[in-house]
Amino acid sequence: MDKENRLKQIAGYINKMPSLPISVTKVIEICNDPRTSPADLNRVIRVDPVLMGNVMKLINSAYYGLSDQVTSLVRAIIMLGINTVKNLSLSTAILGTLSTKDQFQALNMDGFWRHSLCVGAAAKLIARHIKVDQKNLENYFIAGLLHDIGKIPLNNKLPGEYLQAISISDRKHQSLVKSETEAMEINHTESGHLIVHSWKLGEEIKDAVVYHHSPESYEGKNKEIVYAIAAANYFSNYFEIGFSGDRYPEKPQEFIFTELGVTVDWFEGIEETVNEEINKAKIFLNMKK
């Protein structure tokens, strides 16, 4: 298959990908307003039975270990916190609409989402560390969650070629992004670009998705988030939290870590918190490991 044909196939797949449910877009929008109260959030969530069910399921899960069942949605939102509700509604919407077990071909889905959640949680902790404005914190989580989203169309639409890319990586001990270009003439940062563009998720998230494997060459105005996602991705691979097909990832250049003021020791310190965040999300996503 030639490059043009391949691109057409991938673009076609992306066009057919479901967009985010309106209720989730609304949740994100109102959570971005610092004056939002649990009552405001309640008004949006209560009209979406799936979303509401998920919030109730989470607060009443073993993870929170409450002795009495919570039955009021507002109470659940207050107890979980606005940000948790927002993160989890977005994660469920994205993961729920995009992936079912049989769609996934070359990559293992649980490992992939675990990796994505890890990068989201770690990126948000980096954002706190570098004192990013409170209202921008969630963008870091979302960018981390979505950074490898471009692997989905490659893996699902062209699974044979994707397996080939993975085996090139194994044979040559080189990063998956490089092997994708070799095997398919398109890599997951390019297909990811198409997806975040069609979802209208904004410049910050787009730049993070496009440049997470080449932060050194980024020259736009969103350096902080691009560097944070590159570093969080490295952290996730280094500590092997989840697996996104990259056995030989390239380490970003040292200045990326220096600019953020993070080291391997610092990452070790956040590992437990990151795992807690993943565990919360797992309740929603029915992940096994």
Region binding Fe ion by CB under 5 A among candidate stretches 66-74, 97-105, 140-148, 152-160:
140-148
Q: Would you count residue 244 as binding Fe ion (CB under 5 A)?
A: yes
**Residue closer to Fe ion, measured from CB, 41 or 119:** 119
* Residue located via tokens 């929008």: 29
Q: Which two tokens stand for residue 193?
A: 């670009």
**Residue closer to Fe ion, measured from CB, 73 or 281:** 281
Residue type, 3: K
- Say how far apart CA 210 and CA 195 lie, in whole Å: 11
Burial (CB < 10 A; 0-12, 13-18, 19+), residue 93, is buried
Region binding Fe ion by CB under 5 A among candidate stretches 4-12, 56-64, 98-106, 228-236:
228-236
Taking CB under 5 A as the criterion, which residues in 1-40 touch Fe ion?
A: none
**Residue closer to Fe ion, measured from CB, 85 or 183:** 183
- Residue 52: which H helix or E strand, with range? helix 49-59
Find the Cα–Cα–Cα–Cα dihedral 78, 140, 248, 111, rounded to 10°. 30
**Residue closer to Fe ion, measured from CB, 73 or 123:** 123
- Say how far apart CA 229 and CA 257 lie, in whole Å: 11
Is the distance from CB of 41 to CB of 225 less than 8 angstroms?
A: no
- Residue 143: which H helix or E strand, with range? helix 137-146
The correct pick among 233, 235, 257, 284 for binding Fe ion (CB under 5 A) is 233
Q: Would you count residue 207 as binding Fe ion (CB under 5 A)?
A: no
**Residue closer to Fe ion, measured from CB, 91 or 233:** 233
Q: Would you count residue 156 as binding Fe ion (CB under 5 A)?
A: no
Q: Would you count residue 148 as binding Fe ion (CB under 5 A)?
A: yes
- Say how far apart CA 231 and CA 257 lie, in whole Å: 7
**Residue closer to Fe ion, measured from CB, 139 or 233:** 233
Q: How far is the CB of 254 from Fe ion (least distance, A)?
A: 19
**Residue closer to Fe ion, measured from CB, 222 or 244:** 244
Region binding Fe ion by CB under 5 A among candidate stretches 48-56, 68-76, 85-93, 148-156:
148-156
Region binding Fe ion by CB under 5 A among candidate stretches 18-26, 32-40, 152-160, 229-237:
229-237
Cβ of 220: how many Cβ atoms within 10 Å? 12
Q: Which residues have C-beta within 8 Å of that of residue 46, sequence separation ≥ 6?
A: 52, 73
Q: How far is the CB of 15 from Fe ion (least distance, A)?
A: 22
Q: How far is the CB of 188 from Fe ion (least distance, A)?
A: 6
**Residue closer to Fe ion, measured from CB, 38 or 150:** 150
Q: Would you count residue 155 as binding Fe ion (CB under 5 A)?
A: no
- Say how far apart CA 242 and CA 113 lie, in whole Å: 7
CA atoms within 13 A on the CB side of 88: 28
Determine the size of the site formed for Fe ion (CB under 5 A). Answer: 3
Residue ranges in contact with Fe ion by CB under 5 A:
148, 233, 244
